[in-house]
Structure 1
């Protein structure tokens, strides 16, 4: 060892001696540089940290300098909010609250533990702000975006509820932290906890946990069980979403989260947690009591406003002292409530009859009025216009899920041919139309007008459920995943759609394809008077303008001649759709429901200004709508739309350049353009997307017309045919004239058997004997074809009697044309093709007929043996074929029934003196009432049998 030691010493000595000669000093130099660099880096980071700290403190100071002062009054007393209408006029205020104050010492440990475990487990350890919790939340905000995770303590929540807006901004959070620190210095933990549990909002206009325990469970705080206390503790995070009366499933999930947190923080055992989680929320709830708070003006509308404000950022209208500017039309809302709550306008079948109505501005989506139900006297009640999600919409869904998507994605025209025949769903289940009838091949327009179910299913299958759901989503309707692929959706056999949803969706049709979510709030102004928050609703393109217009054009037919006729308002450009749901066979048997009954009746319609969606029915499906009460939805729409449109110009829907209208040959498939000469009865006008219109022209009628024109060129007419006797030669001269084209030749035959041929216009027959009668027939031929024949007769006078050559005594024997009629004795000006024929044996073909043997072909026939073919036939033996037949033995085929018996006509065969004007259109007029018994009826186009939706649309 000593040798090793000595050798080490010696080695060191030698190294020291060599030091000046070797590179040792050079080796130490880099070490010095390294040490210097590390020092510089440290000093740099230290300086940066100090600068950041100073900058952070400066920024923090800048952010909190405008923070409000701690106000003890605000810590305890909420401020009501004021609501203004679309014109900026004050409507009402909200803020009258239900609150039962509880002191800290009266809060049971179980409830206290549930709240602390959920909201702030380190409440008694921090000084208003929890740095550890902030660190965890910061990581979440970096990974998931700012605002995704909160770190607010109970102290911070008291500050937020008392002084600040709920905005998730850095400035607001800085002010919240500063004020929380100040609050923690000024008040004890117990006082702050007491503020929190009494100030917190618990839905249903409830504030504070003590009032909530009584409201939801009918208990005092010290009577609550573990699962009940956990539910109460979990509600403040989102009171309306976790309201156990309205959303028991959501409330139960939230309660179970609280129970897990309590077990995590060692407030309860694992076994207690598991047992509590097995408890049903619905089984623990008390019976919901009606809201006995003060009734507010326009309750249903105000309820919507409150919910919308809360969704805009967590603002609380009941305590935040807001000014809320809405889209409310007070005049429309007042009329809506009169319409629903009185029987001044509509006679309702019972007090229990209910309705939900949404009226919005077609162009802006602003909600103008809400009918939440009949005779609703309380706030926060069930709103049938908004909350009605469990009922099926029936056929009002067809434009949205069938025909709208077919135009949008398949580029169908309104003439697209479908086949209304027996059919099934893909699983083999039969589908039927209401009434069980079929119309065979028909256009999409006809299928929608008369609400046929089978063509709707065929269309849905062609579109596919993916595109159908995409179209629905574009107009604000999203079906539950469990029902998104059901083929029965094609006829409205789904749920989850409210009148408010439907009004927004249909408004997109009337707004050129642009969808704007229905909304009640324009903006809110916070309690500081300076901060203004606007509703972020923005329009979006839901469909092409051609889809919107073509659906609108078809829906106009629905109210003009289809299932929605009772909702039509003459003179108002209007589109709309009916919807009626049905009962299952099992429900009919169990509840003794008549076959014609329905649980729901809908009508959704719109003008260019307003869109309204209306549901009618009963709270319980066991109470049904009769056949008559199914029409109330249409009556409500008609009265409401008449009222709101009375003082406002309503423009027609403008056809976009992307749409082409063409005359189409009826029955052509694929569509063919109706060519020249096609009669009106053989063509329909339909809409096509520009570029998708048919090119082929149907010319069969043109060719036929050309042939007829050529034949007419060959035709001629024998006119002014007379026979005169010449006493000197005892001969008879037959003379005539000819009108027509071509070169005629004539054959003249006599009753004596003689005949002559001539190219002239007269012939002479000799040996005429006085006292005898002779008749002559002239036949005209052009190019070998007979074009006309006429006859006349003459009696040769005896002695010195004057010649019988007077046209007045011997009128031509020619018959009147088919479109002419012979005037009656008292009507020298009318008849013979005029519009009005009276008193003669044959009534005017086009005009009204009084007293003729045959009623007018198109007008109303009165008193004749046969009623008008198309007009109303009154008094004749047979009523008009298409018009209303009154007084005859047989009523009109399509018009009104027959009334009045055999003797109901006016004037008999000699006819009355007064004629009636022609009916326009044919069949739509009313003839003269019969002399006895008969009632006059107006001819009205009759829809095909069974023109109904899922149940009984009319």
Structure 2
């Protein structure tokens, strides 16, 4: 140092001797030179001062950032920390941690594997001191040129620190602490020890920690048995283990492997020839068979699986090793009951051990997931979750409120009375679309179409809305249809895939929440290991639809549960709404797999109250196994039991009608809608909902004049004549006889003659007659003639079909359905088939309204309407004879002579243009009937509904006011 100093002094002395003395520069020359030197000096000093200030400030800031950095802890360096999970009440539920590890020492890691890891993660590992300044500079340049985040600069040492002590937050403070601790770690431990920590701590997906366990898990080999391409794959996984999992994402894994091979060649670890050969290796042929995860099954597995998945999506958090405290929305009581419901037969008798179900229960108001049923008897952790992962099955008719009728109200402002036409129709490409049972209801309201889940009106509505608006509505409630399916018209009846029970519960909850959508979520917040840092799962509510849309859909879906296809899910006293869905097999699948016509691959029910929303799927893992008619009921039974349980201890408020909705009495059959006037009887009006400002203006008052005419006719009739009323025929199985009974309204003392289609005739002064020797399977008709004072005053007829043997009543089409076009994507294998008339497009019905032997026996067999509609065995026993099929469906002249006596089927299908078909009653009315009936064979009623649906179709009936 002193030598250098002396040299500088001597050099300056020599420079002075060489400089001329007493020769001062001229003023002109001296001034500019002095000024230039002074300016340069000032600039230099300014920059120097700024640099020193920045350096001092940077050092001070760095010191502030690292002053509270955690201390090195060898225990944490060697072992990952488990995370704790808490329920909605803040009570501890379970912990998740690193159970799968097989420790490997540094000297036991083959050189090939070391080279692959170092070339990929830290090529200068043995040259730097924990932080690689050169790599940081290179990464900074690439981030500027290629975009932020394009290249990282963390060394293996820094990664060990991050995995052991710090959160994955990308903040300057965390990066400063990481660098400081990496430097400290590099001073305290050897490079070999740090490398050993890394290869044993690193997460390798599938709850695997460490490269030794990963080699066994993915390739079934020890480390020293790995080939070059296998070692490259292992080395490349830590960057994003779940994304590069070769079992789940083989294409991504192979691309990542090839990147590692290129890096190894770049850093001279392998030759170009070796790299090229290794890139050609087939990944699939190298992988071992994936082993089922049977170890360490956790409490509430299905729910915890969803929590872990959600935490991983919130950031670079690893619940298995980061020591997190995870606060969830879990309702332990609901989850416990759900698992009992699925895993035992204490509540429901399941058809087999293989029968599966997926259930999502969420809070209607917040979207918080209260319970998850991932499947029956789930023995594995992170296994297939039917509530979340079920994306390959079709939703069937549960999609109709979301893709057809919801958008129609939202964008077209349709009322619940909007008139549609349930008649033969086609998709735009000419392919026919059919309802279940192959029957039609003619003109009907949107309410009727939804309550009885008619396919043709759903397609008509979808066409009016358009696929862009339909998809927009779905997107608003968290559902996205795969792009390749997004324009298919068959989406209108649920012939798309990619929708899980969790998705549907979130979407339907928006209906129950006044149109506000909350994404379903399980995590409230995460507390990091430092105990102070909280990461909240900020789920923002979204206005998905107008409040009038939400309420009007809800009001119709309440009718689905009260009197439509979802009656099995009804809970008396609990205000709830819901929708059924059942899917079909194609004709090809039925032939190849020997599936009966009544079999179905999927049965759904989605329903909600103001407190809870539940979506339920039932079926089998393989589509080759089908749901029978009885097992198709289980989705509704599961919903009913679950909703009863969670609603038992709290008040459930009814859905509140917003000011944007107006309810009005409407004249039945009017099109366009007319307000029912004061004189309109209750039987001729329905109450429907309208968007405020879109109400009808015209008032129907014709009944005033008609009532006057009726009064005059009645007075005249009472003076001289009478009328036969309430004519019924019923079968007594024990005596094999048919009893015909009636009543008479009028003056005088009438006598009656009762004639049978067998030729037998009886006369009586009473109001009944009995005919014996009724043969099973045969149909009989009876005519009653009333005579007063020798004058015939009225005649009425009825008919009945005697049940065939002991065959149980059949309430819908089963056999010999019309098959769909297998090659037509718009003729789907979806929608409620034979099961409440939801989907059955193509596979159900056909012929002559259930033709052939649809429904067992002869439901309109061959001659629907001619002869005896409902004859043969359809409705045999109580489903037809005497009850359903006797009564309004097939009663009177329906099927006998006039096919729908009065206005039934004739005229305007159900009286005028009424869109209010009335399901069959329990008795067989006389020819004075004319009550409209639903489709033959219960084509629009769930197979699991009672044989005799409640009266009134599904329109809201008013009373005289």
User: Where on the TM-score scale, by shorter chain, does this alignment land: which range?
Assistant: 0.7 to 0.9
SS in 2 for 1:51: helix
Residues 392-440 of structure 1, C-alpha deviations (whole Å, 9 max, x = no match): 1122112112221222222222222222233333333332222222222
Aligned to 1:737: none
* Contact 2:884–2:922 under 8 Å retained in 1: no
Question: Deviations along 1:532-582, whole A, 9 cap, x unmatched?
Answer: 221122211111111111111111121122221211112211111111122
Verify the 8 A CA contact 1:111 1:229 in the aligned structure 2.
yes
Deviation at 1:149, TM superposition (A): 4.9
Structure 1 segment 848-859 matched on structure 2, within 5 A: 853=767
Alignment RMSD, CA only?
A: 4.0
Report the equivalent of 2:45.
43
Distance 1:788 1:163 in 2: 98
The residue number in structure 1 matching 2:291 is 289
Of 419-428 and 551-560, the range deviating more from structure 2: 419-428
1:484 aligns with 2:486: yes
Greater gyration radius = 1
Q: 1:405: which partner in 2?
A: 407
The corresponding residue for 1:380 is 382
TM-score by length of 2: 0.73
Name the SS of the counterpart of 1:496 in structure 2. coil
2:536 alignment partner in structure 1 = 534
CA contact (8 A) 2:880 2:886 kept: no
* Residue pair 2:889, 2:920 contacting (<8 A) in 1 also: no
Equivalent position SS for 2:672: coil
Match for residue 861 of structure 1? none
TM-score normalized by structure 1? Answer: 0.74
Structure 1 range deviating more: 137-146 or 40-49: 137-146
- Which residue number corresponds to residue 192 of structure 1? 194
2:396 is aligned with 1:394: yes
Q: 1:331 maps to which residue?
A: 333
Q: Which residue of 2 aligns with 1:560?
A: 562
Partner of 1:641: 643
Contact conserved, 1:552 with 1:575, CA < 8 A, in 2?
A: yes
CA 1:173/1:563 → structure 2, altered by over 3 Å: closer, same or farther? same
Equivalent residues of 2:920, 2:934 under 8 A apart: no
Q: Secondary structure at the match of 2:557?
A: helix
Task: Say if 2:396 and 2:493, in contact at 8 Å, map to a contact too.
Answer: yes
**Matched-pair contact (CA < 8 Å) for 1:579–1:953:** no
Question: In the alignment, is residue 246 of structure 1 matched against residue 243 of structure 2?
Answer: no
Report if aligned partners of 2:81, 2:98 keep a CA contact under 8 Å in 1.
no
CA distance in 2, matches of 1:304, 1:442: 43
Q: Is the 8 A contact 1:522 1:534 kept in 2?
A: yes
What is the distance in 1 between the residues matched to 2:570 and 2:172?
A: 56
Aligned in 2, Cα 1:494/1:227: closer, same or farther, shift over 3 Å?
Answer: farther
**Residue 691 of structure 1 aligns with which residue?**
693
- Residue 941 of structure 1: how far off its partner (Å): 11
Is residue 722–residue 744 contact of structure 2 (8 Å, CA) maintained in 1?
Answer: no
Give the drift of 1:226: 2.8
Within the candidate set 922, 935, 944, 2:935 is matched to: 944
- Whether the 8 Å CA contact 1:563–1:947 is kept in 2: the answer is no
State how far apart, in whole Å, the 1-side matches of 2:142 and 2:441 are: 63
1:92 aligns with 94
Q: Deviations over 1:191-229 (max 9, x none)?
A: 111111100111222111111111122111122223322
Name the counterpart of 2:854: none
Aligned to 1:166, the other structure's residue is in SS state coil
Once the two structures are overlaid, the 10-residue window that deviates more, 665-674 or 620-629, is: 665-674
Shift of 1:49: 0.9
Query: Could you tell which deviates more after superposition, 511-520 or 308-317?
Result: 308-317
Q: Report the Cα distance in structure 1 between the residues aligned to 2:557 and 2:547, rounded to whole angstroms.
A: 15
Q: What secondary structure does 2:444 align onto?
A: strand
- Higher-RCO chain (CA-CA 8 Å, sequence separation at least 6): 2
In the TM superposition, structure 1's runs of 4+ consecutive aligned residues that sit over 6 Å from their partners are: 143-146, 787-790, 814-820, 883-889, 922-927, 946-954
Bigger drift between 245-254 and 622-631 goes to 245-254
2:897 maps to: none
Matches of 1:488 and 1:888, distance apart in 2: 34
- Distance, in Å, in 2 between the alignment partners of 1:500 and 1:427 is 33
3-state SS of paired residue (1:400): helix
CA contact (8 A) 2:116 2:264 kept: yes
Aligned residue runs from structure 1 range 670-689, under 5 A: 670-689=672-691
Partner of 1:261: 263
* Alpha-carbon distance in structure 2 between the residues aligned to 1:597 and 1:103: 58
Aligned position for 2:128: 126
- Asked if 2 retains the 8 angstrom alpha-carbon contact of 1:355 and 1:384, the reply is yes
Change in Cα spacing, 1:515 to 1:788, as seen in structure 2 (3 Å) is closer
- C-alpha distance in 2 between matches for 1:250 and 1:508: 36
Question: Aligned equivalents of 1:311 and 1:319: distance in 2?
Answer: 16
The aligned residue for residue 663 of structure 2 is: 661
**Structure 2: which 5+ residue stretches go unaligned?**
1-19, 727-742, 753-764, 770-783, 786-795, 803-874, 891-917, 924-930, 946-961
- Counterpart in the other structure of 2:311: 309
Q: 2:436 aligns with which of 434, 437, 453?
A: 434
Is it true that 1:450 corresponds to 2:452 in the alignment? Answer: yes
Mind listing any 5+ residue stretches in structure 1 that lack a counterpart?
1-15, 718-786, 791-813, 821-832, 843-850, 856-864, 876-882, 899-921, 928-939
Structure 1 residues 558, 137: CA separation in 2 closer, same or farther (over 3 Å shift)? farther
CA contact (8 A) 1:101 1:198 kept: yes
Residue of structure 1 aligned with 2:498, choices 466, 486, 496: 496
How far, CA to CA, are the matches of 1:308 and 1:93 in structure 2?
16
CA distance in 2, matches of 1:852, 1:144: 99
Q: How many residues align?
A: 770
Aligned pair in 2 of structure 1 residues 948, 338: CA closer, same or farther (>3 Å)? farther
SS of 1:615's equivalent?
strand
Q: Residues 455-482 of structure 1: CA distance to partner in whole angstroms, max 9, x if unpaired?
A: 2222222222222222222111222222
SS at match of 1:605: strand
Change (3 A) 1:544 1:219: same
Match of 1:505 in 2: 507
CA distance in 1, matches of 2:393, 2:135: 46
Q: Tell me how far 1:592 sits from its aligned partner.
A: 1.7
CA distance in 1, matches of 2:252, 2:938: 43
CA contact (8 A) 2:310 2:522 kept: yes
In structure 2, distance between residues paired with 1:602 and 1:253? 39
- Between the aligned partners of 1:580 and 1:272, the Cα distance in structure 2 is 55
> Matches of 1:46 and 1:888 in 2, distance apart?
102
